[in-house]
């Protein structure tokens, strides 16, 4: 009888611990304007490659 009452008390304590409540608050999402500034120097890079092409020709032609 004593073991039964101990198991009953343990079961009551375990079940009491299973009673949980959770509250979640959701705030509105704020969307802000995003500005991205990129500098693309493709034209300058192409001009530099064209300018230094003579080095490649020089290396191919001799030492």
pTM metric for this prediction: 0.29
**DSSP letter for each residue of the chain:** -HHHHHHHHHHHHHHHHT--------PPPPP----------HHHHHHHHHHTHHHHHHHHH--
Is the pLDDT at 44 greater than 90? The verdict is no
Is the pLDDT at 61 greater than 70? The verdict is no
Is the pLDDT at 63 greater than 80? The verdict is no
Q: How far apart are CA 16 and CA 55, in angstroms?
A: 83
Is the pLDDT at 31 greater than 70? The verdict is yes
Q: Six-digit token pair at 32?
A: 């802000």
Is the pLDDT at 17 greater than 80? The verdict is no
Q: What angle do CA 50, 51, 55 make, to 5 degrees?
A: 100
pLDDT at 25: 93
């Amino acid at each position: 009888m004593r073991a039964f009452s101990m198991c009953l008390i343990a079961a009551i304590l375990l079940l009491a611990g299973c009673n949980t409540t959770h509250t979640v608050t959701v705030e509105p999402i704020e969307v802000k304007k995003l500005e991205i500034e990129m500098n693309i120097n493709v034209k300058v890079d192409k001009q530099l490659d064209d300018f230094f092409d003579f080095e490649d020709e020089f290396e191919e032609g001799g030492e």
